[in-house]
Structure 1
Amino acid sequence: MQRRMVLTGMVALAAARIARAQEVYPSRPVRMVVPFAPGASSDTLARLITAKAGGPLGGSFVVENRAGAGGLIAAQAVARAAPDGYTLLWGGGTAVTHAVMQANPGYDIFRDFTPVTEIAENPAVLGVRTASPLRDMAGLIEAAKRPPGLRYGSGGVGTPAHMAAAALLKVIGAEGTHVPYRGANQATLAVEQGEVDFAFAISNIALPRQQQGAVRVLCTAGSRRMTALPQVPTLAEVAPGIPAVTSTSSVVGPAGLPPEVTAKLHAAFRDAVQGDPTLRASLEAEGGEIILSESPAAYAAAWPAEVQRLRDLVRISGATIE
């Protein structure tokens, strides 16, 4: 009798293993952790693209907002999650930023994540109030050099927007007063209301505000001039030596994500964007550049350069997390 019970248990265990092996991914909703509050530009974009990617994936995504510490809380949560493909992070650049800015972010950027795909990037742009006397970058630089300098806003201490402004002032030999806000949307609103003289914000936040007549973009911070604003110079043109400052729409998972799951997720996001001209047009209209990764391996190979670019920005700007 005892031997029969043991055999029965072994058969049941083997059957459970076979069932798990044959389980089609995804068999339940995939949790996409967004490191910002609901309604933020990154949150809106994440919801739009994950809704489209659910079709090719054959499943659905549930967006979970884990705001706090500039995205560090979300990055730590995903780094510690089970590598089963059911917990992902929107915006691998957030994890990279904290890996560079923090002495101990609680994870290793190369060891604790699985890069899945890069979708698009939006450059940061420098905006001023439409009624501002600062009409171009020459005027802004001249004003910044006159005491007491200019007040500039950002979405928080140590954010790429903060570093971009600090680097600009340092390269041109000017002083300024940093006023941090609780997000890029709030910093842009502060520009509109005249609380600060200028602020860097991601293009998908600033361009709609320019189209509404609330702000005027004086320069962009991508590696090349934006298609949507071909007449506007880049930050590197007016202040040579500053690396590109961009926000990347990308997806990463915890380390150890099965290759077949990673490949399926990559294909789902690729097919969703490639198969939807309206989505692509919407991204590009707000200054986004579609940069779909050829493969998860291609995205992973780009990470070291991304880390070095941010290290260069930190070095030039002198910005630190207080």
Structure 2
Amino acid sequence: MIGWSRRGLAAAAATVAGGLLAAPAIVRAQGNWPNRPVRFVVAYAPGGGTDLTARAMAESLTGRFGQSFVVENRAGANGIVGSEAVARSAPDGYTFVAVTSTHVMNRQIVPNLPFDPTNDFTPIALLARYPLVLMANVDAPFKDVPSLIAYAKTRPPGELAQATSDAQSSYAANQFAKTAGIDLTEVPYRGSGAYLGDLTGGHLKLAWGSTATAMPLLPGGKVKVIAVTSPQRSAFLPDSPTLVECGLPDSLFIGWTGLFGPAKVPQDIAATLNRACSELSATPAMQAR
């Protein structure tokens, strides 16, 4: 289990998310950007929530600018591999990285992090805010938080595993186990897309992911949602209770997905992309995705 400082974690994540909401203050002439394909590096495996969000935005931006926005997955080391590649790239406005709040959380948990999550990047846009979702295999022998806790207490300590895919899901998973008073084994994957086969195939009973990860699995009855980590029920999952409702108020967590460039991306490009992402995120088409 990772030794988190809950107050420090929340403050750090909120600070960076707030920076992503604000458009760059200085705007110069925008020139003809983009005049060649723009690369979005997703720092996690294909098929997960960040990947789906980045691909939806890239598709919308391609339509808006008439230039290709291409997604490339570079998973590994809790998002560090992809983030480091972008931090070291040229700040010319053609390479960006899509990451979760894990991006800033890594500073608290990874010794010798090869970059500064704040100073080595240009914040571009907040793509999504969401609760984390506790999902279960559809055939798991529990249907809600009380029956999950009761089941876990009948099993040998650590026998029941829960999959995570990054620092934010690791935090939520371990905080849930702690506040529920149960012994669960964390199984870290390289991204939520990497554990979906094991979860839907019955090799895993529990996994943590974003709403973007969970929602595509629900129509086919591949998983069931046990609870969400937001203070109120999610508009996307209105029938799923919050952990607060289930008597676990210390399990609150709101994650985010953000877009960053390397440090010193030209302000005019950063402002243009920020404005485009903000406007597209508000459209019904993007909201539905």
TM-score bucket (shorter structure):
0.7 to 0.9
The higher relative CO (CA closer than 8 Å, separation ≥ 6) is in 2
- Percent identity reads 35
Q: TM-score, normalised by structure 2?
A: 0.79
SS in 2 for 1:235: coil
Residue 244 of structure 1 corresponds to: 253
Aligned runs of 1:160-309 on 2, under 5 Å?
160-238=168-246, 239-246=248-255, 248-274=256-282, 276-282=283-289
Residue 6 of structure 1 corresponds to: none
Residue 14 of structure 1 corresponds to: none
Structure 2 counterpart of 1:281, which letter?
A
- Structure showing greater Rg: 1
Aligned runs of 1:55-66 on 2, under 5 Å?
55-57=63-65, 59-66=67-74
Residue 12 of structure 1 corresponds to: none
Residue 13 of structure 2 corresponds to: none
Tell whether 2:32 aligns with 1:24. Answer: yes
**1:144 is matched with which residue: 146, 149, 152?**
152
Q: Within 2, Cα distance between the matches of 1:174 and 1:263? A: 47
Note the alpha carbon deviations across 1:47-76, whole angstroms, 9 max, x for none: 221121134445332222222223211111
Structure 1 counterpart of 2:201, which letter?
Q
Q: Within 2, Cα distance between the matches of 1:145 and 1:249? A: 34
With over 3 angstroms needed to count, the CA separation of the structure-2 counterparts of 1:260 and 1:39, relative to structure 1, is same
Note the alpha carbon deviations across 1:133-188, whole angstroms, 9 max, x for none: 212111112222334145123244x5322322211111122212223334323434
SS in 1 for 2:58: helix
Q: Within 2, Cα distance between the matches of 1:99 and 1:237? A: 32
Alignment check: 8 A CA contact 1:79 1:112 kept? yes
Aligned runs of 1:113-132 on 2, under 5 Å?
113-132=121-140
With over 3 angstroms needed to count, the CA separation of the structure-2 counterparts of 1:104 and 1:197, relative to structure 1, is same
Alignment check: 8 A CA contact 1:179 1:196 kept? no
Q: Within 1, Cα distance between the matches of 2:236 and 2:31? A: 45
What is the CA RMSD across the aligned residues, in angstroms?
2.4
Residue 104 of structure 1 corresponds to: 112
**2:162 is matched with which residue: 146, 153, 159?**
153
SS in 2 for 1:91: strand
Shift of 1:39: 4.0
Tell whether 2:86 aligns with 1:78. Answer: yes
Alignment check: 8 A CA contact 1:188 1:201 kept? no
Q: Within 2, Cα distance between the matches of 1:144 and 1:279? A: 38
Alignment check: 8 A CA contact 2:138 2:223 kept? yes
Q: Within 2, Cα distance between the matches of 1:77 and 1:242? A: 33
Q: Within 2, Cα distance between the matches of 1:27 and 1:191? A: 42
With over 3 angstroms needed to count, the CA separation of the structure-2 counterparts of 1:114 and 1:272, relative to structure 1, is same
Shift of 1:22: 8.7
Q: Within 2, Cα distance between the matches of 1:176 and 1:40? A: 23
Q: TM-score, normalised by structure 1?
A: 0.72
Give the 4+ runs in structure 1 shifted more than 4 A: none
Shift of 1:96: 1.6
Structure 2 unmatched runs, 5+: 1-28
Alignment check: 8 A CA contact 2:132 2:229 kept? yes
Structure ranking higher in helix proportion: 1
Note the alpha carbon deviations across 1:201-240, whole angstroms, 9 max, x for none: 2222222222211211110123421113223221233312
